[in-house]
Amino acid sequence: MDLIRRERARSISPRPDRSSVEPRDCKAKNEIVRNETMLATTQFEAVAEHSPVDARQIDLLIAWLTDGARSATSTQSFVEELCRRMVAAAIPLDRFGLFIHTLHPNVAARRFLWTGAAGVTMQEGPIGLFSQDQHLKNPLPLVTSRQTSVRRMLTSPAALDEFAILGELRDEGFTDYLAQPLIFTTGETHAATFSTKHPAGFTGEQLTALERVRQPLARIVEAHLLRTNAACIISTYAGRGSGGQILQGRVHRGDGEEIAAAILFADLIGFTDLSNNLSGQQMVETLNDAFDVVVPLVAANGGEVLKFLGDGFFAIFPYDQERRIDEAVRSARQTILEGEERLAEAPVGKKVAFRWALHAGRFHYGNIGGAGRLDFTAIGRPVNYAARLLAAASDLSLKHVASAAVAEYLCTAPQMTAEVDFKGFEGRQKIYSC
């Protein structure tokens, strides 16, 4: 991937613990200080004269950042406006990269790349990105681990041999490269890069201006990342719809609403025997492999996995005035069909299969709990009924079952398979194959 091939954000790195590497004598300590000072001086020395930096525009840029960059409502729009403001300040910026580590189950990092021609694009790097050789041979690991800037003139053969990205940038016409650490209030370190095609590269005055921008830039990036991570973590553990409700402020007991949805319960057939013959780790891996096949199909068909229940899960497919009940039920049914088809093609499908139960109705969707611990879930008679329906399917050794409430939406002539008693419900309940 382009993100792997080029520079990337390293995993979150705390401030170095200098107590573990403190020199044994003052002379050695002073030598380290002198070396770091020389490095900083070398990084920011002027290489040529340009048009002078517009100090007023830099001041306005810093004021905008300090005020929270409120005119930019997304990370993409923030990067776009940041770069436009730097160009307006006479910084000869032709390429800007923002590299941030993320808290996401499938994504290790994101890169926001701006160029004058293409604007802002975003790419994601997969889990395992930071251990790959191509990443480790680029400047960003050095920038984030040592919390130091790296500046290289791309006219220097030594620089081109040092890092792979520099040769690629030189081939694209860039002449100068600067990578800065963005140090968060927690000590976590991310990175930003600045590249120019100006024949003389960046001047000392321009580099000084970029250094002035670095700290307020880090504060805004930290705020954006905190919001992104919060939304991701909540959605990962509570579900997409539930996560949205929580982020909108529904965090008190009783907060919620009545909704209508098709309800899909699923669990693994023969889970007890399987778990008795596998180690805990092997069972977890098997469940993850099986869920990897079927869970994405829930969202693809307009539903949401509300909760994992050991070897199974509970999903909802809401319906309202815009989406009819028959559409929601058929979407749930499509999830079942596609899930079984893909599971049969996957290696884990040789070991496991799912049992499915489908129902629909209105129920409460919101918070329940106590003592500072809440769960955003679904509660109500239709949910209880769907759970009983799945248990009955297990007792009857049926793989797909539906209630009378939804059977008519699944086929023109639904076939009743059995009538059984459900605990907590009066009368015999009709079960349909689906």
Predicted local distance difference test score (pLDDT) of residue 283: 93
74: which residues sit within 8 A by CB, 6+ positions away? none
Give, in order, the Cα–Cα distances in Å from 105 to each of 70, 119, 124, 384: 29, 28, 12, 31
Query: Does residue 248 sit in the same domain as residue 268?
Result: yes
- 342 or 29: which leads in pLDDT: 342
Domain termination residue (choose one: 207, 236, 265)? 236
* 197 shares a domain with 286: no
Site of tokens 């069909």? 337
Same domain for 336 and 313?
Answer: yes
**Contact status, residue 431 vs residue 418, Cβ threshold 8 Å:** yes
251 or 130, which is more confident? 251
Token match 């500046």: residue? 151
CATH number of domain containing 20 = 3.30.450.40
pLDDT per residue as tens digits for the range 147-184 = 999 999 998 887 788 888 898 999 999 999 999 999 99
Q: What is the pLDDT of residues 231-263, one digit of tens each?
A: 787 777 776 666 676 777 767 777 888 999 999
Same domain as 231, residue 244: no
pLDDT of res. 325: 95
- Does 7 share its domain with 22? yes
Four-CA torsion 279, 281, 286, 291, nearest 10 degrees? 140
When the pLDDT of each residue in the chain is averaged and rounded to a whole number, the result is 84
Same domain for 270 and 209, yes or no, is no
- Can you give the pLDDT at residue 104? 77
- Cβ atoms < 10 Å from Cβ of 93: 23
Based on the fold, state whether residues 252 and 181 are members of the same structural domain.
no
Measure the CA–CA gap between 336 and 326, rounded to whole angstroms: 15
| 422 and 382 belong to one structural domain | yes
Residue 11 pLDDT class (50, 70, 90 cuts)? very low
- The model carries a pTM of 0.66
Indicate if 248 and 210 belong to the same structural domain: no
**CATH code of the domain covering residue 359:** 3.30.70.1230
By residue range, what is the domain housing residue 380?
A: 240-433
Same domain? For 230 and 244 the reply is no
pLDDT over 70 at 20, yes or no: no
Tokens matching residue 192: 């930003």
CB-side exposure of 322: number of CA atoms within 13 Å? 3
- Alpha-carbon span 190 to 218, nearest angstrom: 8
Number of domains the chain is built from: 2
Q: Among 205, 236, 267, give the residue marking a domain's end.
A: 236
Q: Please identify, among 213, 236, 259, the residue that sits at the C-terminal boundary of a domain.
A: 236
Q: Tens of pLDDT along 82-129?
A: 999 999 999 999 999 999 988 877 788 899 999 999 999 999 887 665
Same domain, 212 and 312: no
pLDDT for position 63 = 97
Q: Are residues 194 and 283 in the same domain?
A: no
